[in-house]
Each structure stands twice: as C-alpha cells, then as structure tokens.
C-alpha cells in the first residue's frame, strides 16, 4: 500500500462507512486522484465492498479517477460564465485536448475539471490553470492559452 494512503487510513482506525467521503477527500488531496488500489484499500479498511466505494466515489464530481495533468484546467460553469458562453469554452477545450471532463491527456500535460463558480464573475467566462486566471476566454484566445502552456514544457 502507498505510504500516504496508509497514513491517512491510520488516522481512521475504528472508522465505519460514515467516514468514507472524508477519507476519499484526504486521499485525493494528498495524491491528486483516486487510484484503483487506493479505493480497494479504503474498501478493505472500512469493511465495505469495493463496488460500493466506487459507486459512492463516482457519484461526486469532486473525485478524479485519473492522475492530474501537469496543467490542471478548471472551467467555471457558474451562471455568469454560462451566460457568456462557458459551454462553448468547455466544448472547445475538450475538442482541442481530446479529453472529457475528469480525464487527463495521454501525454499527462493537461487535465480538465468543471467548477461551479470561481467567484470572479467580472472576468467571465473564466478558466483557471494551475492558479492562473484567464479572463474573457474566446475560441481564439483559448488556442493561444493552450499553446502557451505547451511551450512552457519545451523551454
């Protein structure tokens, strides 16, 4: 078992299934995603069938089942961003990177997540990549943004 996961599970020694979600959150916090092996370990620890652990985990948007990319893209789908076209932004990102929400590109560079509202409605539609906010995103600016991150790797 992964050392980090072991540490987290040790904090929940006599826990039952009530603790499932906090445990999953802590594991994702420390590893960035939920691997099959960690879900299996959690099931064993809580004496819960892994199918149930998987069922609960996949219910929530917050959990990822692929490791995060080097650049993690959060697309705001809050009301203001929606009005100003965030659906198209999301679609364009999926097309450009050939991944769906919750997935990571094969080269491990980009991963994609939807967030409800970042709280910067004045910048709508907004995306956040590794803590950098990109305001008023359009189809044109999007390809430039993605290219700029790809270049960071080449340097």
Query: By the criterion CB under 8 A, which residues form the site for another protein?
Result: 36, 39-40, 43, 49-55, 58-60
Report the nearest approach of another protein to the CB of residue 4 (Å).
20
Report the nearest approach of another protein to the CB of residue 148 (Å).
33
Report the nearest approach of another protein to the CB of residue 65 (Å).
8
The pair of three-digit structure tokens given for residue 37, joined into one six-digit string: 């092996």
Report the nearest approach of another protein to the CB of residue 9 (Å).
17
Query: What CA–CA distance (Å, rounded) separates 75 from 81?
Result: 9
Q: State which residue, 99 or 145, has the beta carbon closest to another protein.
A: 99
Query: What CA–CA distance (Å, rounded) separates 85 from 58?
Result: 27
Q: State which residue, 87 or 135, has the beta carbon closest to another protein.
A: 87
Phi then psi for 76, rounded to 5 degrees?
-80, 130
If we measure between CA atoms, which residue out of 78, 148, 77, 72 comes closest to residue 112? 72
Helix (H) or strand (E) holding 110: strand 110-115
Q: State which residue, 44 or 150, has the beta carbon closest to another protein.
A: 44
The pair of three-digit structure tokens given for residue 119, joined into one six-digit string: 């709280």
Q: State which residue, 27 or 39, has the beta carbon closest to another protein.
A: 39
């Amino acid at each position: 078992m992964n050392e980090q996961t072991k540490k987290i599970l040790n904090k929940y020694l006599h826990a039952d299934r009530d603790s499932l979600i906090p445990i999953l959150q802590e594991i994702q916090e420390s590893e960035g995603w939920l691997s099959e092996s960690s879900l299996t370990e959690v099931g064993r620890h809580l004496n819960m069938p892994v199918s149930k652990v998987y069922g609960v985990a996949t219910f929530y948007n917050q959990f990822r089942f692929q490791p995060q990319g080097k650049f993690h893209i959060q697309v705001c789908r809050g009301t203001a961003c929606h009005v100003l076209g965030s659906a198209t932004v999301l679609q364009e990102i999926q097309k450009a990177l050939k991944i769906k929400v919750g997935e990571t590109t094969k080269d491990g560079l980009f991963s994609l997540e939807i967030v409800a509202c970042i709280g910067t409605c004045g910048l709508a539609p907004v995306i956040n990549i590794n803590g950098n906010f990109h305001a008023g995103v359009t189809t044109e600016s999007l390809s430039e943004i993605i290219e700029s991150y790809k270049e960071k790797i080449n340097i």
